[in-house]
């Protein structure tokens, strides 16, 4: 049962890895966005979004206080053609002062005022988190299970062909009915005379 579960996990991981590679390539031409925000008329709104652009996945989540004049929350999926997207993304991330390492980026920002239409600051509260994960890290994490599956199945095939115990690797040429080292009984038809 554990083996079948691992095989299923490896297959799902491989499919997700292929999808991540496709999204990685796509991210240099299109910026995909999905997000949402609850929409009470007045009070606190929670929201978040995922953005795929220029080699990474950005996750944003926020909590903000709204007044009756704020627009309603949103929930949408869209894609757009990336025009000068690299410059826009770099400018946006450079405007935030966060932690950067190997393509990863994290910032926690609290904003207490915003500029109104007339250019004057108005009271506003927004607590925002931004996390950017590069696609190479997503692919590296997702490829681990398929690689483990491949190595395990290759070792089992090699042991079958060489006439050794599938459990411990002991040579079964002298005792093909049972492994003298660990006691494992090989399946019928696998023993070599």
Least confident segment among 4-8, 15-19, 94-98: 94-98
CA distances from 89 to 52, 93, 115, 145 (A): 11, 6, 22, 32
> Rounded distance, CA 106 to CA 111, Å?
16
Percent of the chain with pLDDT over 70: 77
Q: How confident is the model at residue 16 (pLDDT cuts 50, 70, 90)?
A: very high
Alpha-carbon torsion, ordered 145, 13, 138, 50, to 10 deg: -150
Q: How confident is the model at residue 18 (pLDDT cuts 50, 70, 90)?
A: very high
Q: Which residues of 134-157 are buried (b: 16+ CB within 10 A; e: fewer)?
A: bbeebbeebbebbeebeeeeeeee
Whether this prediction's pTM lies above 0.85 is answered by: no
* Highest mean pLDDT out of 54-58, 166-170, 173-177: 54-58
Checking if the pLDDT of 12 tops 50, the result is: yes
pLDDT single digits (tens) 28-86: 888 788 887 777 666 788 888 888 878 889 898 888 887 665 555 555 444 555 544 55
* Highest mean pLDDT out of 17-26, 69-78, 170-179: 17-26
Q: How confident is the model at residue 133 (pLDDT cuts 50, 70, 90)?
A: very high
**For the chain, what are the domain ranges?**
23-135, 163-193
CA distances from 37 to 51, 53, 122 (A): 15, 21, 22
């Amino acid at each position: 049962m554990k083996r079948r579960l691992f095989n299923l996990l490896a297959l799902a991981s491989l499919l997700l890895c292929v999808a991540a590679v496709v999204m990685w390539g796509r991210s240099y031409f299109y910026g995909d966005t999905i997000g949402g925000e609850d929409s009470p008329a007045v009070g606190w709104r929670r929201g978040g979004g995922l953005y795929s652009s220029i080699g990474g996945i950005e996750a944003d989540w926020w909590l903000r206080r709204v007044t009756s004049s704020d627009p309603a929350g949103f929930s949408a999926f869209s894609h757009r053609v990336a025009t000068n997207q690299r410059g826009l993304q770099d400018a946006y991330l450079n405007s935030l002062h966060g932690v950067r390492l190997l393509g990863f980026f994290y910032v926690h920002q609290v904003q207490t005022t915003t500029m109104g239409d007339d250019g004057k600051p108005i009271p506003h509260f927004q607590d925002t988190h931004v996390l950017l994960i590069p696609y190479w890290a997503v692919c590296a994490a997702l490829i681990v299970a398929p690689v483990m599956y491949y190595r395990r199945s290759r070792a089992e095939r090699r042991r079958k062909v060489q006439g050794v115990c599938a459990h411990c690797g002991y040579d079964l040429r002298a005792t093909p009915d049972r492994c003298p080292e660990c006691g494992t009984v090989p399946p019928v038809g696998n023993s070599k005379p």
